[in-house]
Amino acid sequence: MLREFRTLLPYLRRYWPRYLAGLLFLLLADAGQLYLPQLVRRAVDLVASGGFSLAGLVPPVLLAIATAGLIALGRFFWRFFINGSSRRIENELRERLFAHLQALSTTFYGKSKTGDLMAHMTNDMNAIRMATGMAFVSFVDGFFLTLAILVILLAQNPRLALLSISPLPVLTVGVILFGKIVGEKFKSVQEGFSAMSDLAQESIAGIRVLKIFVQEQAFGRRFADKNRDYSDRNLSLAKTFGFFFPLVGFLAGLTSLIFLLLGGRSVMEGSLSPGMFTAFFAYLQMLIWPMLGAGFTVNLLQRAGASLGRINKILAEQPDIASPPPAQARRGPLQGDIRLHALSYAYPGMEKPVLLNLELDIPAGSIVGLLGRTGSGKSTLVNLLPRLLDPPPGAVFVDGHDVREYDLASLRSAIRVVPQDTFLFSTSIRENIAFGAEDADAGLLEKAAAISTIRRDLGNFPQGWETVVGERGITLSGGQKQRVALSRAIAAQAAIYILDDAMSSVDTETEEAILSALLPRLRGSTVILVSHRVSTLRNADRVVVLEGGRITQEGTPAQLAAIPGFYADILRLQQLEKILKGHG
């Protein structure tokens, strides 16, 4: 377990001055606590002597008040420095995890669940914060107070001290066993929380599908099962605590009972003063917290160890797709000249290639259409250009250089993709359109919205530009989402635009209006139009037909329409469909 904590070493080194300051104030508070019983001893012995005056009690009382003030001061500042540092470590580690998650490739998310990742960002981080804060405090308290109290007690009355603390070794063994059990149970609790969170997230994200298929009750039962399982795991952990802490209390009470019997006899025999008896008893009571603190420390460290193990597993993941070393990486600006050379690609774990030996040149500034059946490899091909999928070396070139040689951020900032699976953020329409062009002025956003024709719909939205579209754009229709996504790409200047079935959810009249305004706007940039509609591709300089991962046809729309093949077949079918609709 301890090896998992190596992740925290850089943060602990950075904040060691704060921890040192917190440690000094913690020791000041502990020293004050150790001094208070001595003041009580003086006062009790003074009263027991029978010849005391109220004036004689003033010095120990004033000293006790001053000591209490120092204890309060120490407690405030150790919380400020130690707990404050633990909060900073939690914050920085969470940011590091989030940045690492953003750097990981899509293959990682294909095997990871969103609810599980959310648990890492919340519950696991809380456990780490407690380990770097309260676990440190309870350990120092446990070590310093226990050692100091034992020294004081043994110095005052060795025999009485040894007999009184005789139950403590049993507690030490119990703490060790307790820590192992808690670590396993806490890991089980975290796994249960992840499973429940993942199901909740999946249900909310897919609420439309749930309602369409009337599966609310079925998913409700599944969630109830996950929730019950999570509750059972928590109860199992609570039972462990329910056994351990009463055991600590019992052993502490046994210690007090032994002392009351032996110490009381010593007071009656005159070998122990009433003040010494009171102070001795106070110190024994103070030992209860260090004993509890030992279990508390083990518990927190076990929890943090389990959480760090889960987080370290993610941090150890390396992105499948990464930039070359900074000194070797190429950067923009790019012109947009694209060349494919003997490009073949198979998805990881699959033997059959999706693309087979493609050869294709797309000059900068040209408009090229891609046509093919579902599964022909169109989306795979366009995802290889920005390295959302990683092409083999020497297969995909931009401006004469292998895309694998470019800095990823530089390459991707030169390519704007409108995917067929439209994703919008849960924010306003304005912010969604300005997503890739934060510095864009209102005029540019208006122009982008006009080209995509979404501007004509703004009057129908409750707050116009400021309408919040909901998670993944759930409040918009499919066509509206596509047009907002298209506006987002238009607003961000780029050398290459890839429209992957970006208008599949809009009607043909709207599509024609968009293309008539869009293509002149993008003239000078390289445009790749992926579509099942021949009407979309008639504006292309050249059309490439993919079948079974191979290029089977290539030419201008007019050339392909005049020769037998897939393009001409699709053209005739869509013309017939248009005629039938007209008669209908």
Domain boundary among 315, 346, 362: 315
Write out the two tokens for 434. Answer: 């300005």
> Does 269 share its domain with 184?
yes
The 3-class secondary structure across 520-538, one letter per residue, is HHHECEEEEEECCCHHHHC
Residue 516 located in a structural domain: no
> Does 186 share its domain with 335?
no
Residue 519 located in a structural domain: no
CATH number at residue 562: 3.40.50.300
The residue among 46 and 235 whose pLDDT is bigger is 235
pLDDT of residue 545: 92
Tell me which amino acid residue 281 is. F
Q: For the residues 412-422, what does the mean pLDDT come to?
A: 85
Maximum Cα interatomic distance, the chain, rounded to a whole number of Å: 123
Model confidence pLDDT, tens digit, residues 263-287? 788 878 777 788 888 888 888 878 7
pLDDT of residue 82: 93
> Does 340 share its domain with 300?
no
Residue 322 located in a structural domain: no
pLDDT of residue 244: 74
> Does 244 share its domain with 369?
no
Contact 231, 137 (CB under 8 A): no
**Domains held by the chain: number:** 3
CA nearest neighbour of 397 among 430, 369, 428, 360: 360
> Does 447 share its domain with 405?
no
> Does 380 share its domain with 434?
no
The residue among 533 and 365 whose pLDDT is bigger is 365
> Does 31 share its domain with 15?
yes
Which helix (H) or strand (E) is 20 found in, with range?
helix 16-48
CATH number at residue 245: 1.20.1560.10
Model confidence pLDDT, tens digit, residues 150-196? 888 888 888 887 887 777 767 666 666 776 677 677 778 877 877 88
> Does 213 share its domain with 298?
yes
> Does 54 share its domain with 180?
yes
Q: CA end-to-end span of the chain, whole Å?
A: 72
pLDDT of residue 507: 80
504, pLDDT greater than 80 = no
Mean pLDDT of the chain: 83
Q: Following CA atoms 485, 486, 489, 493 in sequence, which dihedral angle do they give, to the nearest 10 degrees?
A: -150
Whole-angstrom distance, CA of residue 80 vs CA of residue 63: 26
The pair phi, psi for residue 468, each rounded to 5°, is -85, 130
Domain boundary among 468, 493, 518: 493
51, pLDDT greater than 70 = no
> pTM value?
0.74
Rounded (10°) angle between helices 478-491 and 508-522: 10
> Does 190 share its domain with 86?
yes
> Does 344 share its domain with 462?
no
Residue 518 located in a structural domain: no
Model confidence pLDDT, tens digit, residues 474-486? 777 778 888 888 8
Contact 388, 368 (CB under 8 A): no
Residue 534 located in a structural domain: yes
338, pLDDT greater than 90 = yes
Whole-angstrom distance, CA of residue 150 vs CA of residue 278: 16
Residue 286 located in a structural domain: yes
Q: For the residues 548-555, what does the mean pLDDT come to?
A: 91
Rg (CA), the chain: 36
pLDDT of residue 163: 80
Residue 2 located in a structural domain: no
Domain boundary among 437, 467, 493: 493
> Does 310 share its domain with 339?
no
Residue 498 located in a structural domain: no
Q: What share of the chain is helix, strand, coil (3-state, %, to 5)?
A: 65, 10, 25
Q: Residue 435 is part of which domain span?
A: 420-493
